[in-house]
Structure 1
């Protein structure tokens, strides 16, 4: 289907996030400042202090005012800002944690998406290695994304609003880390959401709708990133749509006459207040009919999906503790509750020295050091793929991903959030920059470790940690070699698979990139007896192609597309497709 390009007021797509952050700081200099070398940690001017638990929230951009809009006194101390619809990287998150570390620990809060879980978990490990006690809470409010008996699998949508508010209040009250975490988890368990979308959004890099939807259709249960929902149906009246969303929430939330709730009616970016108030009218009628008391209501855009039309409803089942946390004063760009708290006289945040601490080895950070010496005399030199050949092959993969990024994003738009090609291109562009700046005599292992660091630092999302782990593992697998022979070429491919398996946890048949890397590895190992590295890489490429095509017949069991069930069948997994793109480009660039 041919689409008319969407319109966005921007300068360059690659600059849209730093320029957005710069604009936020200019707008709110009394509340926000920027910290960290990456420029992705937005920190509260007033709030972080010695003895207080630091609250770090974060996620992909495109959901404004979430996440940085909730940074300020009484709520979040910092936000780690990712690329559009992509998690911040571990480095972004760690810099945010370091900026608010008051010695009492740090609580990390984010939506329950594969990329966010991977990156925030890695950041927590790295924080622990430098002496910061970091704990995590993944928000799981979306009732459309998994049944109640698998609530831990649910994604976080606008329910972030309530969970963040409760955690921020508990920390501002001076509670210890264990109690702040418990308060956040209590709010998490008490919060349920449901959404509906009427139109698609588009990525700044593609200017194409993330998915197709008819002019008279709506998607029930749509995710915040444009992921398809539970089902598609003809558009209905405001009351009918609200009845359906509330029905799923109330089927699960145990509300009796006299129960109290807080309500959030949230616009997804292109839905006006007129329509949101119609939804809220019906929400109030339904709750009043059940004898449920509405303690407080918020209506507006609090967690959006760029220019998507649609709305979500969030309820939090209240008790006295949760009401106290929600009523606690806060002042942020997106939310002010009560009288804005006055600055605390004499409060300071003591600078801490992290330089001497041992860094975490979540992706074997020690292996990423590029200033170590290597005794080349001990490396095996048989084999026809030289370090220079390998670097050329990696640069060719970067160029291929750049060419295919729109296609890969289109594949992702059908069953995911439409950003896979964009995200991979960001990562591989960073790899290209790093390799072009590297010494000409780098070994293959050094090239891999530099690629790992570049990819991880540039990319959040799930692909950042997964490919960083893959490159590190593959580099280690050939660390004893200068050149690659057939056996070592197969070992490199197998190392890529093992790194992804170790970090990601998916299995063959889950409809992920593993379904391309696993058959690629099997074919590569089977071709080792030929003694020809080209034959090994050719077999791996064909294995990846076959594996990627086989994902069309699979039902997704991992990531954002898992909730689609049978609706994911018939569509190729974008991660598997990009794996084939990488190997195919490396093969084509291998000198004969």
Structure 2
């Protein structure tokens, strides 16, 4: 690579340059890849998206008969609402939009925020989160399962339905039908590394493999000795057949997918045994694909996906399409809908509010002036950047290893936004500025969570010019509640909430006892530190690490760790400012 910070825009530029007959870029964010011959009047717009690092997913499935546009996020991080909206605007032919993405908390929150804005503007929108990973949750909790290589079939079916000019409700029904009929299970032989860290997300000793790993490099459900292609195929296919309830006489489509560093030779070995197993059980293969369709950077490993077919899914599977990653049959040439005029940016679209603030009488008592507040926020950025490797290492053990990278990107964006803030700007307006900067830069789960936290916190002190101890405690409490509301997490779920809630409780108690502003923020820091340390003794119930269950014990939650760093940095800056 040339530079980690440029890897996504340079990748998009290279992709568009290689396929100008298929793809173009639309929108101010530069992250919406659109089909040249896809969107058109009267057609449901199909928008897919997710983090980069899974190439050819997601932009590789943009083309006639497939997706009309893809929102391209940072590596292993969801696109932001504004990036998703750029894709939706370009795909909008007046018949509504359907969002398709993997079932990860960051994707769900960011696509939900984009859907809320589209709906508010009068555009019909549907969302389908792909849940094909049989290893990530039991069958009775299918809605908790991750989306991995099964995206391939769900995108294909929904794209075909929309290309046949079916209405939005029908495209949505068929996409859900395809999702319910698709199952995947995979194995990793080696970990991947993020461009920014260049370190393995997790370690797999020689001669071992990770069963049921996630597409972002999350550890699997168990680790075992390296096995032969036949033995591995038997385990994966047996699990999928049982979960799908396949019987003799059924018909399926097969995808054997490489994760980035697995040779075609090995993938064909897996397909060989997969076909033998299905033949032995009287299950017919209608069509197979073997190759790299949903990767995980340079991870070595593979996954097997089966789509159970019926009459309507079979027709849609064979419907012609043409994209970088997938071509079926010959597509008809039709005039496309050029991108719609870009509307105003969404900013932090979940919470309405302009960066400008109405002039009003503000409470002026309190030690923390707007200038000191911005110094506190700048120090948070400095500390997060300094500790990014530690945060990513924590995340690599129980997640996908990108938390430090994501937080660094967000806080660098906040720093630039603070540099542009006028000296007279109030703390409330600064919080709105921070929210927009963080959300637009990050996406992922941290983007909506911190954007909502900043917005709620700013609103809570909107009647003040300066903050006193009680107002600072209110700021912390509102930030904590915003994160809880947006993420729908509770204490004990092993998330950042486990640090924010005790921080808010401690800050409130300190303020009520007559403590100073410094004592309030120090109490909050202590509460966050205690909460962070307790997460090591909690089995994860929310987020990507929830799939690990008991395997997450003994490890600090990275979101709780970054919360502690945030409050500690605020305390450090306030002590210096008031010294």
Please give the TM-score of this superposition, normalised by the length of structure 1. Answer: 0.96
**In structure 2, distance between residues paired with 1:530 and 1:323:** 70
Matched, 1:235 2:217: no
**In structure 2, distance between residues paired with 1:551 and 1:23:** 42
Matched, 1:364 2:351: yes
Shift of 1:372: 3.7
**In structure 2, distance between residues paired with 1:359 and 1:71:** 24
5 Å matches for 1:161-560? 161-339=152-330, 341-344=331-334, 347-349=335-337, 355=343, 362-366=349-353, 369-375=354-360, 378-528=361-511, 529-560=513-544
Match of 1:50 in 2: 41
Please give the TM-score of this superposition, normalised by the length of structure 2. Answer: 0.98
> Structure 1 pair 360/413, CA: closer, same or farther in 2 (3 Å)?
closer
**In structure 2, distance between residues paired with 1:372 and 1:224:** 43
Gapped runs of 5+ residues in structure 2? none
Aligned with residue 39 of structure 1, among 7, 20, 30 = 30
Shift of 1:362: 4.5
Shift of 1:531: 3.6
**Where do 4+ consecutive residues of structure 1 move more than 4 Å?**
350-356, 358-362
Matched, 1:154 2:145: yes
Shift of 1:364: 1.9
Match of 1:70 in 2: 61
5 Å matches for 1:115-130? 115-130=106-121
Structure 1 residue matching 2:282: 3-state secondary structure: coil
**In structure 1, distance between residues paired with 2:197 and 2:163:** 41
Aligned with residue 587 of structure 1, among 550, 553, 571 = 571
Number of equivalenced pairs: 575
**In structure 2, distance between residues paired with 1:101 and 1:391:** 40
For the Cα contact (< 8 Å) 2:90–2:340, is it kept in 1?
no
**In structure 2, distance between residues paired with 1:359 and 1:31:** 28
Shift of 1:365: 2.8
> Structure 1 pair 272/44, CA: closer, same or farther in 2 (3 Å)?
same
Matched, 1:140 2:131: yes
| Cα shift readout 1:288-327 (whole Å, capped 9, x = no counterpart) | 0001101000000000000000000000000111111010
**In structure 1, distance between residues paired with 2:392 and 2:105:** 17
| Cα shift readout 1:241-278 (whole Å, capped 9, x = no counterpart) | 11111121111122222110000000000000000000
Matched, 1:21 2:12: yes
> Structure 1 pair 65/360, CA: closer, same or farther in 2 (3 Å)?
closer
Structure 1 residue matching 2:434: 3-state secondary structure: helix
Shift of 1:156: 0.3
For the Cα contact (< 8 Å) 2:45–2:93, is it kept in 1?
yes
**In structure 1, distance between residues paired with 2:356 and 2:370:** 17
| Cα shift readout 1:488-542 (whole Å, capped 9, x = no counterpart) | 0100110110110111100000000000000000110110123400000000001
For the Cα contact (< 8 Å) 1:228–1:414, is it kept in 2?
yes
